[in-house]
């Protein structure tokens, strides 16, 4: 659910209600040594603070949804949003789809979709399922192994070699994501068959009209999809999908690292540039396309490094053929 306001609400709860809420948010809790605070639940777009005075404070963009959930349960005043009518997706049986790897220079792009019912959602919360960005790799790996035995899921990934082989028309990252999301949603729909599905949700990476524009030449386009900002907090199926996708990404990146005997780093920062330079020095320019997404800006920075620091001919491969030296400001330094 995407809330446009950022207000606060609070509940004066009984000890029993506090314990019930703490149990519900168990996977999101951090405990404080404060004399005033019992714990905080940090969701993607809301923070819930439990005070020793039995006050529960709801803050953040999505706080109203969380507040109203408990206000309704405890027969307190329920507030309406000043925006358009809100849908509580968390009560639906839904397919949720999310992608990872699009911010990483090395490794594949992975898209996963899961199907989660409200009953199964409760089990996932107790397991600690939440936005993968709020979890460490160490936390996610055992969680993903449990998830794949608990809920229906489908997964698809595109390795760097295939990404780099795409035509210029199709190598736009949003096009790739749209294509893979549509494929994985088709796959999980086949898996669950006639099982009730109230909604098909995608963690929003582009406006819906653009999503369908990317898919205009694709076959079997699933049209009844909803794009959600902060999708991981709107429905736990998206959070579960992000965890399974991330662990798959980690596995595939590890395979590439073992193939070359060099640890390939996650992300796309300066340390990744240095990692890629070491890779090229050891394995040559031509092998970079097998492990990295060459469309990323990292590649230009790596090119500049090797223009200043020429490689031995045995490592050059097609390096000087693939960059346009006539337009390079570093031409004189080659």
201 contacts 231 by C-beta, under 8 angstroms: yes
Cα distance between residue 147 and residue 135, in whole Å:
15
Percent of the residues in the chain that have a pLDDT greater than 70, as a whole number: 90
- Over residues 221-235, the mean pLDDT reads 88
Residue 314 has pLDDT above 80, yes or no: no
188: tokens are 């999980």
Range list of H helices, the chain: 15-24, 63-73, 118-127, 137-147, 160-165, 173-192, 208-214, 231-234, 236-260, 270-283, 297-308, 313-316, 319-322
- Over residues 327-331, the mean pLDDT reads 36
More confident of the two residues 4 and 231 = 231
State residue 97's pLDDT score: 97
Could you report the per-residue pLDDT of 146-167, keeping only the tens digit for each?
999 999 999 999 999 999 998 7
The residues near 82 (Cβ < 8 Å, ≥ 6 apart) are 5
* Closest to 183 in 3D by CA, of 207, 166, 158, 150: 158
Using DSSP's 3-state secondary structure scheme, residue 249 falls into: helix
318: tokens are 């097609």
Could you report the per-residue pLDDT of 111-127, keeping only the tens digit for each?
999 999 999 999 999 99
Domains of the chain plus CATH, in order, are: 8-73 (3.30.310.10), 90-255 (3.30.420.10), 263-333 (no CATH)
Could you report the per-residue pLDDT of 98-107, keeping only the tens digit for each?
999 999 999 9
How would you class 174 by CB atoms within 10 Å of its CB: exposed for 0-12, middle for 13-18, buried for 19 or more?
A: middle
126 contacts 26 by C-beta, under 8 angstroms: yes
Using DSSP's 3-state secondary structure scheme, residue 57 falls into: strand
- Kindly report the pTM of this predicted structure: 0.72
How would you class 333 by CB atoms within 10 Å of its CB: exposed for 0-12, middle for 13-18, buried for 19 or more?
A: exposed
200 phi and psi angles, rounded to 5 deg: -120, 115
Using DSSP's 3-state secondary structure scheme, residue 5 falls into: coil
Three-class secondary structure assignment of 263-289: CCCCCCCHHHHHHHHHHHHHHCHHHHH
219 contacts 130 by C-beta, under 8 angstroms: no
Taken in order 34, 35, 39, 42, the sign of the CA dihedral is: negative
């Amino acid at each position: 659910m995407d809330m446009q306001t950022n207000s606060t609400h609070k509940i004066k709860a009984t000890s029993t209600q506090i314990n019930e809420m703490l149990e519900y948010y168990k996977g999101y809790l951090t405990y404080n040594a404060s004399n005033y605070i019992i714990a905080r639940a940090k969701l993607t777009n809301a923070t819930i603070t439990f005070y020793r005075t039995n006050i529960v404070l709801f803050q953040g963009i999505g706080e109203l949804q969380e507040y109203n959930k408990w206000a309704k349960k405890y027969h307190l005043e329920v507030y309406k949003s000043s925006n358009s009518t809100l849908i509580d997706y968390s009560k639906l049986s839904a397919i949720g789809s999310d992608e990872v790897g699009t911010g990483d220079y090395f490794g594949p792009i992975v898209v996963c979709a899961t199907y989660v019912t409200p009953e199964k959602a409760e089990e996932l919360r107790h397991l600690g399922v939440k936005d993968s960005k709020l979890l460490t790799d160490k936390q996610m790996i055992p969680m993903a192994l449990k998830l794949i035995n608990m809920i229906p899921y489908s997964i698809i990934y595109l390795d760097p070699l295939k990404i780099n082989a795409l035509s210029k028309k199709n190598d736009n990252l949003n096009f790739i994501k749209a294509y893979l999301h549509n494929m994985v949603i088709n796959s999980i729909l086949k898996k669950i068959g006639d099982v009730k599905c109230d909604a098909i949700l995608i963690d929003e990476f582009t406006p819906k009209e653009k999503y369908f524009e990317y898919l205009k030449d694709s076959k079997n386009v699933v049209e009844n999809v909803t794009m959600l900002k902060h999708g991981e907090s709107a429905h736990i199926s998206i959070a579960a999908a992000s965890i399974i996708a991330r662990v798959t990404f980690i596995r595939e990146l590890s395979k590439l690292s073992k193939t070359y005997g060099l640890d390939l780093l996650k992300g796309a920062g300066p340390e990744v540039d240095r990692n890629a330079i070491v890779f090229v020095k050891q394995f040559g320019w031509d092998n970079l396309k097998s492990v990295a997404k060459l469309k990323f800006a990292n590649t230009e920075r790596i090119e500049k490094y090797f223009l200043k620091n020429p490689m031995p001919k045995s490592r050059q491969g097609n390096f000087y053929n693939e960059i346009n030296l006539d337009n390079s400001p570093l031409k004189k330094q080659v």
